[in-house]
Amino acid sequence: MLICDDEPSIRELYRFAFEQAGALVGEAADGNECIETARRDHPDMIVLDLFMPDRDGLSALPDLRRECPAAPVLMVSAHAGVEVFDRARSLGAAACFEKGGFLRRIPQLVDRWDHPTPGDALFYRRTSRAGTADKSRTNASN
């Protein structure tokens, strides 16, 4: 999985929580670095901060969706309103979270990744073949 946030302390907190839950984690500090890392590493999940210098999460999101179409992108922000999160979803974000509550959700997210339920579209890969759903999970350790 890949964490993209411009604040090193936030990346460190998220990394620790995801690693404690059993995930292997990569990091990026802005949208451009996130796209480059995603292109190289093909993560199975991306946590993307919304507001960052150089290139923010909203502008990076379409490129990330093209580079890693099967990887859910989870947007996080300390300052976004409903309209911004709605825009992120319209650009392809699988889910949006406020930073204040995201850290405590990480174990649950990893558990859902490891044990998805049939109705949990966030963690099922979709194929382009006639719109059918591919129920195979990708590796949660990326």
Rounded to whole angstroms, the Cα distance separating 104 from 68 reads 26
Neighbours of 95 (CB within 10 A): 15
* Residue 79, pLDDT score: 81
- Is CATH 3.40.50.720 correct for 2-123? no
Task: Give the number of residues written for the chain.
Answer: 142
Average pLDDT (68-90) is 89
Indicate if the pLDDT at residue 65 is higher than 60.
yes
Closest CA to 3 of 73, 91, 101, 108: 73
pTM of the model: 0.79
Sign of CA dihedral 60, 65, 66, 68: positive
Domain ranges of the chain: 2-123
pLDDT range class, residue 130, cuts 50, 70, 90: very low
Rounded to whole angstroms, the Cα distance separating 40 from 106 reads 24
Sequence-ordered list of residues with C-beta below 8 angstroms from that of 102, at least 6 positions apart, any chain = 14, 47, 76
Query: For 89, which DSSP code?
Result: H
